[in-house]
Amino acid sequence: MPNLHLLSYPLQLRAIANLHLVMAILLFHLLMVILLFHHLYLLLLHLLHLLLVVLIFHLPPSPPPPSTAGSTYIPPPPLSSPSPPPPSTDGSIYIPSLPPSPSRSPSPFPSPAVVVAPSPSSPADSPAVVVAPSPSSPADSSQRKPRQLIIIILGSSLGAFFVVFVVVAFCFYLFRNKGESKELDEFSVDQVPGIPIRFSYKDLRAMTCNFNDEIGKGGFGSVFQGKLSNGTKIAVKHLNGFDHVKKSFLAEVKTIGSIHHVNLVRLIGFCAEKSYRLLVYEYMSSGSLDTWIFHRHKDRTLGWQYRKKIIMDIAKGLTYLHEECRQKILHLDIKPQNILLDEHFNAKISDFGLSKLIDKDQSQVETKMKGTRGYMAPEWLKSIISEKVDVYSFGVVVLEMLCGCKNFDSSQPEDLLDLFKRKAEEEHLLDIVDKYNDDMQIHREEVVKMMRVAVWCLQIDFSRRPSMSVVVKVLEGSVEVENNLDYDFTTPVVRRAIRVAGNQEDATGAAASPSVLSGPR
């Protein structure tokens, strides 16, 4: 931008207009960046447009028009102490002229004195009035103009900036609210059949007695027990936060809201009102699987028949997700905390907050790493996954159920997979059968056979893992487990990388310990 003090007044006005236009274009492109941050190609076009505009307005200003031929500028005489009026020879009176008006440009030539002759009707001896020219003050004029120009620039610039800022903020607010309402309208009960009931926040508060009976708590919020008007018990998951909660909320309503299976937790309804996000599930009275297999409570333990049935239920639920839905559903977070049990210990898969839908003819999909450390397949490091990541997680859960301990446990000297590999090489797998349950010890031979199913699901090469429908057939006894299984489920490098990545996921909310996203309990 050229120095405004060196420009003529019309060019100064043009520079001010250019400045305002550039500011408006900058703010307009800022709005485009906000609205179109997902479309990089449009963003690139706007940046190129902005660059061209800036280059245009940085071109040197046009020169002032040439002066008229022969005209020269004669500066006004310098200021000096006023000289006494010349003596009057004809009886006229000398009056100094007033300073020139700011609206009139000063004449380049000194103005002569104006002699006002006496009126004809006046007496003859009436003196004439002589108006003498007043010297202009270039110093005062030059000081006044830049000051006025600065005030004009600052005032109009701040005003224009404020107006455009308000417009940008208002447009962003409308865009954001429109996006949220559009997403929520997709779940309107009146428009899409099969979508669960939409509750109001006031109704859910009444059903849960003002959220008084808390039955679970985690990183994303709490779970409360309640009752519908017909007396049916429900579990209400009250989600806290924003980004993670919003994504998991939408994923869960879209996924489990439109599917039904005996081994999937039924989503009865939801609430999306202002900033509130709540999910309403069927109540599972026996809680989550982890409270029954890790011996936190001495009075909570499961015999072999119950564990075998739960393994079958999980396998059938995953088979439905992978092979029997219109789209293939990858759960991506299979773990004991997400397996819920009813009063008869029927197992149901819950928490579809991290799930992903892909086409049935799509064998793999690229996505960022998510899940829970200890249950993540090695191929997560490449971010190219398939339904076989759920098969791997299922294998870890089965092994934990058979051994009665976690895969990753800081209180133990080695991880469960390392211990299992070592005992398999020593041919002492009976040593790691759950020793805190007598019924498991009685059926140790059957338990070791079930361990082969887990090993098949834990193959480091995902192409060697069975599909979940094949696992169901193995459990039913119609198919045999593959021979020549690899007991080296993962390498130390991969294991360390997944552990580090899992810790990073835990820091953002996907905790390994029971969380509110693990479903109601």
Lowest mean pLDDT among 139-143, 294-298, 483-487: 139-143
User: Angle at which helices 388-403 and 304-319 pack, to 10 degrees?
Assistant: 170
- pLDDT greater at residue 366 or residue 323: 323
Residue type, 232: T
CA atoms of 370 and 330, how far apart (whole Å): 12
DSSP-derived secondary structure letter, 448: H
Return the H-helix or E-strand segment holding 146: helix 138-185
Binding residues: 237
Asked if the model's pLDDT at residue 490 lies above 60, the reply is yes
Q: What pLDDT score does 342 carry?
A: 96
Q: Give the model confidence (pLDDT) of 121-154 as tens digits.
A: 555 555 554 445 555 555 555 555 666 666 666 6
Lowest mean pLDDT among 117-126, 406-415, 507-516: 507-516
Q: Give the model confidence (pLDDT) of 431-479 as tens digits.
A: 999 999 999 999 999 999 999 999 999 999 999 999 999 999 999 999 9
Query: 4 in helix, strand or coil?
Result: helix
Binding residues for ATP: 237
pLDDT-above-70 percentage for the chain: 55
Asked if the model's pLDDT at residue 188 lies above 50, the reply is no
Tokens of 54: 């800036």
Beta-sheet pairing, 93-96 with 129-132: parallel
Note if 333 is an active site residue: yes
Q: How many CB atoms lie within 10 A of CB 263?
A: 20
Asked if 215 contacts 235 with a C-beta cutoff of 8 angstroms, the reply is yes
DSSP-derived secondary structure letter, 294: S
Residue type, 326: R
The mean pLDDT value for 344-366 works out to 89
- Which one of 313, 333, 351, 390 is the catalytic residue? 333
Asked if 48 contacts 110 with a C-beta cutoff of 8 angstroms, the reply is no
Beta-sheet pairing, 93-96 with 214-218: unpaired
Class of domain 197-282: alpha beta
Same fold, 197-282 and 290-518: no
DSSP-derived secondary structure letter, 358: E
- Per the confidence metrics, is the pTM higher than 0.85? no
Return the H-helix or E-strand segment holding 20: helix 9-35
Average model confidence (pLDDT) for the chain?
A: 76
Beta bridge partners of 222: 217, 238
Give every CB contact of residue 308 below 8 A, 6+ residues apart in sequence. Answer: 446, 450, 475
CATH number attached to the domain at 290-518? 1.10.510.10
The ranges assigned to domains in the chain are: 8-31+153-185, 197-282, 290-518
Tokens of 368: 């960022």
Give every CB contact of residue 505 below 8 A, 6+ residues apart in sequence. Answer: 369, 370, 371, 372, 373
CA atoms within 13 A on the CB side of 166: 5
Lowest mean pLDDT among 249-253, 364-368, 456-460: 249-253
Q: Give the model confidence (pLDDT) of 165-177 as tens digits.
A: 666 666 666 665 5
Beta bridge partners of 94: 130
DSSP letter string, 237-293: EEE-SSHHHHHHHHHHHHHHTT---TTB--EEEEEEETTEEEEEEE--TT-BTHHHH
Q: What is the chain's Cα-based Rg?
A: 42
CA atoms of 425 and 432, how far apart (whole Å): 13
Task: Report the side by side order of strands in the sheet with 114-116.
Answer: 93-96, 129-132, 114-116
Helix, strand, coil share (%) of the chain residues, nearest 5: 45, 10, 45
- pLDDT greater at residue 115 or residue 515: 115
Lowest mean pLDDT among 34-43, 230-239, 346-355, 501-510: 501-510
CA atoms of 457 and 388, how far apart (whole Å): 8
